[in-house]
Amino acid sequence: MVFPVSDLRSALLVWCEHGGRHDIPWKQALDGSHVVDGEALDPYPIWVAEVMLQQTQLQVVLPYWRRWMHAFPTLERLAAADDHDVLLLWQGLGYYSRARRLRQGARQLLAASPGPDIFWPTDLQGWLALPGIGRSTAGGILSSAFDLPVAILDGNVKRVLARLIASPQPPARELAGFWRLSEQLLDPQRPRAFNQALMDLGATVCTPRNPSCGLCPWQGHCAAYAAGDPARYPVKDASRELPFQVIGVGVVLDGDGRVLIDQRLNEGLLGGLWEFPGGKQEPGEAITATIARELMEELAITVEVGEELISLEHAYSHKRLRFVVHLCRWLAGEPQPLACQQVRWVQPGELEAFPFPAANARIIAALLERLALADAAAGSAQAGGGAAAA
């Protein structure tokens, strides 16, 4: 396909002057001023941001990025950080292996930099050799930090390009062609500005559901717009139903009011995070029986399963889960880490010091609320008893 490439580049760059996002902190010079073409930026904050942005939108990422940069302002500080602190700062962003890989990459870069200066890669191969870095993330870092002409292809860019050419295929089935198109369009004179403008266009104008084609600098060249139904693109594969599972979860309290938590193994989904114990419901099994069985199998403890605390659903990219959470009273057995790294009894007020997966934050909130209500009820019963006695 032949494109008026220079028209598309210049229209996009002109649009970005007034329509783009110019206050992204990691795209500015250290003193907060706007960076000029060709000027290098510190790659570390950009790398952190690009990894956070892999599965998450800018507005969500910003506070996480600020907290992270405050806690680990340099590569050396990140390399020296322990698992607990890294996961706690990532808590809520999901895809937690990204946090560990960032730290692993920091250690790798320091090990490869014998002198006081860090040896930052300035080519694709160098960045792809670091854990957790794919081609688009590498392109984002190289163009943002060093103004190098390396293309990107994140979700926003795929959507814009799919509409520009009204691609009849889902981007995932035509990746090589989409990469070629992104490379073809990239302005070699101003790669940083161009890639940023392309991402801004996807994030603010060519949005997933209601693209604002009236504001778009590429409207005159856009095949999806010309076809009359741009939101139909990118076309999707016929959707497949995600597997669904019910998970029974026990919030186990002992006689001192402590609650039992366990730390997942480092491998696999949510590795290294803390959680309330539980597991999958078997066919035909009552959820209370699931909880009692799982706690015996995984922790070797006997509990009395009490009332339901909360029930909630959470969707991952590959499955949907419903967590049915019951309060439990610990009866017998010293908890053993049979299927996890470690088990701990903690006071409910201490739970915020542990990194939990997002779904568990609602369980913790429900528990704290329930305990506060129980305290209030006990307090007023005491006051009532006192008043009656008086």
Q: How far is the CB of 4 from ligand SF4 (least distance, A)?
A: 14
Nearer to ligand SF4, 223 or 312 (CB): 223
> Could you give phi then psi for residue 320, rounded to 5 degrees?
-115, 140
The amino acid that residue 248 corresponds to is G
Rounded to whole angstroms, the Cα distance separating 293 from 300 reads: 9
Distances (CA, A) of 281 to 47, 90, 136, 244, 248: 41, 29, 39, 11, 6
For residue 332, what is the enclosing H or E element?
Answer: strand 320-332
Nearer to ligand SF4, 229 or 241 (CB): 229
Q: Determine, following the binding rule CB under 6 A, whether residue 160 of this chain makes contact with ligand SF4.
A: yes
The amino acid that residue 266 corresponds to is N
Q: Determine, following the binding rule CB under 6 A, whether residue 224 of this chain makes contact with ligand SF4.
A: yes
Please identify which of the residues 17, 50, 298, 313 carries the catalytic annotation: 50
The amino acid that residue 294 corresponds to is E
Q: How far is the CB of 73 from ligand SF4 (least distance, A)?
A: 38
Q: Determine, following the binding rule CB under 6 A, whether residue 303 of this chain makes contact with ligand SF4.
A: no
CA 313, chain centre distance (Å): 18
Q: Determine, following the binding rule CB under 6 A, whether residue 11 of this chain makes contact with ligand SF4.
A: no
Q: Determine, following the binding rule CB under 6 A, whether residue 161 of this chain makes contact with ligand SF4.
A: no
Residue from 60, 148, 213, 339 touching ligand SF4 (CB under 6 A): that is: 213
Q: Determine, following the binding rule CB under 6 A, whether residue 357 of this chain makes contact with ligand SF4.
A: no
Q: How far is the CB of 157 from ligand SF4 (least distance, A)?
A: 11
What sign has the CA pseudo-torsion 155, 159, 164, 168? positive
Rounded to whole angstroms, the Cα distance separating 18 from 234 reads: 27
The amino acid that residue 240 corresponds to is R
Q: How far is the CB of 158 from ligand SF4 (least distance, A)?
A: 12
Residue from 211, 250, 278, 357 touching ligand SF4 (CB under 6 A): that is: 211
Nearer to ligand SF4, 158 or 190 (CB): 158
Q: Determine, following the binding rule CB under 6 A, whether residue 206 of this chain makes contact with ligand SF4.
A: yes
* Strands 259-263, 342-346: pairing kind: antiparallel
Rounded to whole angstroms, the Cα distance separating 119 from 106 reads: 11
50 is annotated as an active-site residue: yes
Q: Determine, following the binding rule CB under 6 A, whether residue 165 of this chain makes contact with ligand SF4.
A: no
Q: Determine, following the binding rule CB under 6 A, whether residue 225 of this chain makes contact with ligand SF4.
A: yes
Q: Determine, following the binding rule CB under 6 A, whether residue 216 of this chain makes contact with ligand SF4.
A: yes
Q: How far is the CB of 78 from ligand SF4 (least distance, A)?
A: 37
Q: Determine, following the binding rule CB under 6 A, whether residue 166 of this chain makes contact with ligand SF4.
A: no
Residue from 20, 230, 234, 277 touching ligand SF4 (CB under 6 A): that is: 230
Helix extents (H) in 27-185 = 43-52, 58-71, 75-80, 83-90, 97-111, 124-128, 135-146, 155-164, 175-185
Rounded to whole angstroms, the Cα distance separating 122 from 296 reads: 53
Residue with tokens 């560990």: 100
Residue from 164, 165, 259, 351 touching ligand SF4 (CB under 6 A): that is: 164
- Binders of ligand SF4: how many residues, by CB under 6 A? 14
* Positions that interact with ligand SF4 (CB under 6 A): 160, 163-164, 205-206, 211, 213, 216, 218-219, 222, 224-225, 230
